[in-house]
Amino acid sequence: MIRRDPAIASREARRDLAAGAFSVGLAACLAAVHFRQAGRLHDDYGAEPGPALLPEILLAALALIGLALLLRGFWIGRIAGLASREQKEIGSAFGRASLVVLGLLVAAMFLQSATGFGIAAATASALLAILLARQELRSLPRAAIEGVLVAAILYALFRFILGVPLT
């Protein structure tokens, strides 16, 4: 796991730390939910091991894997030196363009509840096409029209051919 290239080792260490922290955090949160759950989850089912067995094994595994990742991240980071120039590049789990696209998808779902699927899909599609054509400023209006057309074709396919009630 220790890379000879300090930049790569530093990147791997940061990835380990991020994944480890996520894993331990998630295990802790889910364990709190699991052990505080009322009802029959923690009852004794006699010969049957019960519904709590696998979740508890998995939560323990998730926490242990997370701790192992954290330890490895600290260890590699200490050797490689975390103050690498690459830190900024990998600081975020999302690239800017992907984050905007994801935001557009979420916004389209909120818009859908107000306007229905058709208008929301057409709006999101036009904006997505414009975003993806951002390198060529001249083709932006064309991209918007293409986006609306793509949405219309897919909407027609699902609504009228497959009979999906996209309202």
Partner 1 sequence: MSALLDSLGLLLMDPWALFLCLSGVVVGLIFGALPGVSSTMSLAVMLPLTFGMSTGNAMMFMLGIFFSSVYAGSVSAILLNIPGTPGAMVTVLDGNAMARKGRAGEAMTYALIASLFGGVLGWIILVTTAPVIAAYALKFASPEYAAVVFFGLALVAYASSGDTLRGLLAGALGLLLGVVGRDAITDVPRFTFGTAELQGGLDIIPLAIGVFGIAEALTAVETIPKTAAALPARMGRLFPGRRALLAETPTAVRGSAIGAFVGAIPAAGSAVAVALAYALEKRISRTPEAFGTGVPRGIVAPESANNACVGGALIPMMTLGIPGDSITAVLIGVLLLHGLRPGPGLYESQPEFVATVYAALLFAIVFTGLVAGTFGLRGFNRVLLLPRRILLTGILLLCLMGAFSVRNSIYDVWVAIAAGGAGYAMSRMGVPVLPLAFGVVLGPILEENLRRTLMIHKDWTVFLERPISLTLILISFAVLLGPLIWQAARSFVQRGSEGGKPR
Output 85 or 96, the one with its CB closest to partner 1: 96
What gap in Å lies between CA 55 and CA 35, rounded to an integer?
10
What gap in Å lies between CA 42 and CA 54, rounded to an integer?
12
- Please give the size of the binding site for partner 1, defined by CB under 8 A: 72
Of 113, 114, 137, 138, the residue at the interface with partner 1 (CB under 8 A) is: 113
Instruction: Return the number of other C-beta atoms located less than 10 Å from residue 137's C-beta.
Output: 7
What gap in Å lies between CA 151 and CA 148, rounded to an integer?
5
Regarding 3 and contact with partner 1 (CB under 8 A), the answer is no
Of 28, 32, 79, 106, the residue at the interface with partner 1 (CB under 8 A) is: 106
Of 4, 36, 137, 163, the residue at the interface with partner 1 (CB under 8 A) is: 163
Of 3, 7, 18, 119, the residue at the interface with partner 1 (CB under 8 A) is: 18
Span 83-102, contacts to partner 1 by CB under 8 A: 90, 92-95, 97-98, 101-102
Q: How far is the CB of 81 from partner 1 (least distance, A)?
A: 19
Largest CA-CA distance found in the chain, in angstroms, rounded: 72
Axis-axis angle for helices 117-132, 96-115 (nearest 10): 160
The pair of structure tokens assigned to 103 is 């935001």
Cβ(129)–Cβ(140) under 8 Å?
no
Regarding 28 and contact with partner 1 (CB under 8 A), the answer is no
Q: How far is the CB of 83 from partner 1 (least distance, A)?
A: 20
Regarding 119 and contact with partner 1 (CB under 8 A), the answer is no
Spell out the alpha helix ranges (H) of the chain. Answer: 6-36, 53-80, 87-90, 96-115, 117-132, 140-156
User: Between 47 and 76, how does the x/- string for binding to partner 1 read (CB under 8 A)?
Assistant: xxxxxxxxx--xx-xx--xx-xx--x----
Regarding 143 and contact with partner 1 (CB under 8 A), the answer is yes
